[in-house]
């Protein structure tokens, strides 16, 4: 048809009055359209696959907030608490059943550290009972300043100044940084300027680092005596609170046992690990009470050992530390003013110890700078928060301490704050943890109720007067 038009001269020439009846074939041909649609479908398929990947990477409603499998009674080389942690996005909620008559919802608060919140974990009656039991047992002031017994032990230890410096120098850089100082001295740099510590030879308050020479010039015995003799106000201390410990083992109050079983289902760890952990600590913060930012666990080096496994490891080491794999914290009442739990560096892109103090703002100071922290959890009666204090080591066991787990109790401005802590103790050494569990099981079989592991731990923690 078009050829016939061309032969007739229709549409040719500039002066032709007749427009052509057909045009040359354009690029929008059928073949081109088919190719375009193929590429569009491939693009949409890739986008859909990416969305599905992100969704499942962030977890699903049945996701486990903690360890993906349960360790055996005697952890071997391939069984451990938290061999892998399933992460979820901040704000994500999932439903779990921790008791038979109701559901609980776990909300992700941060990924660094891996931190979760569970409203209604305890009932109001359970909260009141825990407070009542703690008051009946009696609370003691949370000790910070060194005692005479501690000074005497320090003076008799056969550890040279150089050995002690190397023990404290965790990153082996030849200087003691802020965290390394605070791990040994109970966060001393926070209130050293208010106590005139410049009068101690060799000590430079809040200078940030101590060299080996400066440390060697310090007389540790005089230092501890000075600390005890100086009248420090409660507001200047690292921790201003009272606490006690409540037994949760066999034969304990049925509510205490029920809470322990709930924690067991929450953490999905083996019963042996949870049952051999510390008793329930109950803490009361009055008006003006606080706890400067700290980590619940300490690093374990050849010169240190975990407090719980030292009972059976029969190792002679100069220092021991708390090995608290997980922290489960319960809020027992609504606080009238203040009292939040702050995580100063939660979900920071990076962690830099020296950046904790900038422009006269110390992020560890929970009396003055709680509002500067990245994340604050408001106390609500019955709510529980729990987090991991250690990173996985990549081989299915406990690795390094998670620096992002730094946390503290903000200043209580009005009223009283009651909390309780369940710590899950795991030794970074698989062998020591296995030996501990085996020995405790043997004592339980041979000694009956009086040899239950937590009974011994309860007495040990009740008699402890120095908290490092």
Domain containing residue 191: CATH number: 1.10.238
Kind and range of the H or E run holding 308:
none
Task: Judge if 242 and 345 occupy the same domain.
Answer: yes
Question: Average pLDDT in the 308-314 region?
Answer: 81
Three-state SS at 309 = coil
Number of other residues whose CB lies within 10 A of the CB of residue 451: 14
Task: Judge if 193 and 337 occupy the same domain.
Answer: no
Task: Judge if 114 and 195 occupy the same domain.
Answer: no
Q: Quick one: 262 exposed, middle or buried, by C-beta within 10 A (0-12, 13-18, 19+)? A: buried
Give the C-alpha separation, 442 to 312, whole Å. Answer: 12
Count the domains in the chain: 2
Task: Judge if 370 and 296 occupy the same domain.
Answer: yes
Residue 201: give the domain boundaries. Answer: 160-231
Task: Judge if 187 and 242 occupy the same domain.
Answer: no
pLDDT grade, residue 430 (50/70/90)?
Answer: very high
Task: Judge if 406 and 442 occupy the same domain.
Answer: yes
Question: Average pLDDT in the 89-117 region?
Answer: 94
Kind and range of the H or E run holding 448:
none
The pLDDT, as a whole number, for residue 266 is 95
Final residue in a domain of this structure, among 168, 199, 231: 231
Task: Judge if 140 and 214 occupy the same domain.
Answer: no
Strand-pair category, 242-246 with 140-141 = antiparallel
Is residue 124 within 8 Å of 132, Cβ to Cβ? no
Question: Average pLDDT in the 299-315 region?
Answer: 82
Sign, CA dihedral 196-197-202-203, equals negative
The pLDDT, as a whole number, for residue 374 is 96
Give the orientation angle of helix 220-229 with respect to helix 148-156, to 10 degrees: 180
Three-state SS at 106 = strand
Give the C-alpha separation, 192 to 301, whole Å. Answer: 27
The residue among 93, 82, 96, 87 whose CA lies nearest residue 54 is: 87
The pLDDT, as a whole number, for residue 226 is 54
The pLDDT, as a whole number, for residue 27 is 53
Task: Judge if 394 and 438 occupy the same domain.
Answer: yes
Stretch among 41-45, 58-62, 300-304, 361-365 having the lowest mean pLDDT = 58-62
In Å, how far from its chain's centre is CA 429? 19
Q: Is the pLDDT of residue 145 over 80?
A: no
Does the residue 464 lie in any domain? no
- Residue 28 makes CB contacts below 8 A (sequence gap 6+) with none
Does the residue 76 lie in any domain? no
pLDDT grade, residue 151 (50/70/90)?
Answer: low
The pLDDT, as a whole number, for residue 318 is 72
Give the C-alpha separation, 326 to 64, whole Å. Answer: 15
In Å, how far from its chain's centre is CA 182? 18
Q: pLDDT digit string (tens) for 20-57?
A: 545 555 555 777 777 878 888 888 888 888 777 765 55
Q: pLDDT digit string (tens) for 348-388?
A: 988 887 788 888 888 999 999 999 999 999 999 999 999 99
């Amino acid at each position: 048809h078009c050829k016939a038009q061309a032969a007739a001269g229709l549409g040719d020439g500039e002066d032709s009055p007749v427009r052509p009846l057909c045009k040359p074939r354009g690029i929008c041909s059928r073949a081109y359209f088919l190719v375009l649609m193929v590429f569009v479908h491939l693009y949409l398929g890739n986008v859909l696959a990416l969305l599905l990947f992100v969704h499942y990477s962030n977890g699903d409603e049945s996701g486990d907030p903690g360890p993906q499998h349960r360790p055996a009674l005697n952890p071997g080389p391939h069984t451990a608490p938290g061999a892998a942690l399933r992460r979820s996005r901040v704000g994500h909620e999932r439903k779990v059943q921790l008791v038979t008559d109701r559901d609980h919802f776990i909300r992700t608060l941060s990924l660094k550290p891996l931190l979760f919140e569970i409203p209604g974990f305890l009932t109001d009656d359970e909260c009141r009972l825990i407070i009542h039991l703690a008051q009946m047992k009696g609370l003691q002031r949370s000790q910070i300043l060194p005692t005479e017994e501690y000074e005497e032990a320090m003076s008799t230890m056969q550890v040279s100044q150089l050995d002690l410096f190397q023990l404290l120098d965790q990153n082996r850089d030849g200087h003691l940084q802020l965290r390394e100082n605070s791990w040994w001295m109970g966060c001393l740099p926070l209130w050293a300027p208010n106590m005139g510590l410049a009068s101690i030879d060799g000590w430079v308050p809040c200078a940030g680092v101590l060299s080996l020479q400066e440390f060697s010039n310090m007389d540790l015995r005089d230092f501890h005596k000075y600390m005890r003799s100086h009248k420090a106000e409660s507001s200047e201390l690292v921790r201003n609170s009272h606490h006690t410990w409540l037994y949760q083992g066999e034969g304990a109050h049925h509510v205490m046992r029920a809470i322990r079983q709930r924690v067991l289902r929450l953490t999905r760890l083996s019963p042996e690990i949870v049952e051999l952990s510390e008793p329930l600590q109950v803490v009361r913060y009055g008006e003006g009470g606080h706890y400067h930012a700290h980590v619940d666990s300490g690093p374990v080096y050849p010169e240190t050992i975990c407090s719980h496994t030292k009972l059976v490891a029969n190792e002679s080491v100069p220092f021991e530390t708390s090995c608290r794999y997980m922290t489960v914290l319960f809020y027992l009442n609504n606080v009238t003013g203040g009292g939040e739990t702050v995580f100063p560096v939660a979900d920071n892109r990076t962690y830099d110890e020296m950046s904790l103090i900038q422009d006269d703002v110390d992020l560890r100071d929970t009396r003055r700078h709680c509002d500067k922290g990245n994340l604050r959890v408001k106390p609500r009666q019955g709510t529980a928060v729990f987090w991991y204090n250690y990173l996985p080591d990549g081989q299915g066991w406990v690795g390094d301490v998670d620096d992002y787990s730094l946390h503290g109790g903000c200043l209580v401005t009005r009223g009283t704050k009651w909390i309780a802590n369940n710590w899950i103790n795991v030794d970074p050494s698989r062998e020591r943890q296995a030996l501990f569990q085996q020995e405790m099981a043997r004592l339980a079989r041979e000694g009956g109720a009086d040899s239950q592991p937590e009974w011994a731990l309860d007495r040990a923690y009740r008699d402890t007067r120095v908290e490092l």
